[in-house]
Amino acid sequence: MRIPTTLGSAVLRLWNAKDKRELVIQGNDRAVWRNLLSGFPHPYTEDDAASWVDFASNCYPSIHLCIEVNGAVADGIGIIAGTGTEQKTGQLGYWLGRAYWGQGVATAAAQAMVAHADRSLPVVRLQAPVLAWNPASMRVLEKAGFYRESVLRKSVFKDGELIDSVMYVRVRDDT
């Protein structure tokens, strides 16, 4: 699977074993870790990368893809499929290595993933929680058609701080 983006240099594709080394380089960055939810470890090790590539390759009905820029791993994006009464909801998440920040890569990746979800996934609602100190990620989501639905006050304890998270949502019928 290869999903093109509006940036000719960036595509979304399946993870593979060759990605592990670059995944560790991009992921073992405190500034990256600080903006992610608790499932992302720091420091980020080779074992973490190996576990991730294995997991991401076998996670159906969820989908996790590598963001590749000019042939290099820029990091990842995915949608975690809801279950039970939330089976029509998916949670979008993404992260990007610091070397790729501010270049429109995350926006292009989010837009491509949303378009893929609209075409291929049985979700009606996509949601994406964002840590309150990350306005850049909020802008990415807004450019991908999401809107701010709510602020979850003091809902996240990260890096020694109790902070708000902001829930961004895109409902297919609203677009």
Q: List per-block mean pLDDT (blocks of 10 residues) for the chain, which spans 175 residues.
A: 95 96 94 90 94 92 96 96 96 96 97 96 96 97 98 96 97 78
Q: Which residues, at least 6 apart from 111, have a Cβ–Cβ distance to it below 8 Å?
A: 5, 6, 143, 144, 145
CB atoms within 10 A of CB 94: 24
**How far apart, in whole angstroms, are the C-alpha atoms of residue 107 and residue 141?**
7
Q: Is residue 157 part of a domain?
A: no
* Strand arrangement, sheet containing 72-81: 2-4, 10-13, 63-69, 72-81, 89-96, 125-131, 161-171, 147-158
Residue 103 in any domain: the answer is yes
What is the tally of structural domains in the chain?
1
Q: State residue 37's pLDDT score.
A: 86
Structure tokens given for 134: 């990350």
Amino acid at site 5: T
CATH number at residue 19: 3.40.630.30
With contact defined as beta carbons under 8 Å apart, do 163 and 131 qualify? yes
CB neighbours (10 Å) of residue 26? 24
For residues 156 and 165, give the distance between their C-alpha atoms in angstroms, rounded to a whole number: 7
Q: Among 51, 50, 65, 72, which residue's Cα sits nearest to residue 15?
A: 65
Q: Which residue has the tokens 């990260």?
A: 158
Residue 93 located in a structural domain: yes
Q: Does residue 148 fall inside a structural domain?
A: no
Q: Which of 22, 138, 140, 1 shows the shortest CA–CA distance to 70?
A: 22
pLDDT of residue 38: 81
33 domain residue, yes or no: yes
- Establish if 154 belongs to a structural domain: no
- 122: in domain: yes
Structure tokens, 39: 């499932």
The boundaries of the domain holding residue 44 are 2-127
Please state, in angstroms and rounded to a whole number, the distance separating the CA atoms of residues 124 and 131.
23
Question: What is the rounded distance in angstroms from the CA atom of residue 22 to the CA atom of residue 42?
Answer: 15
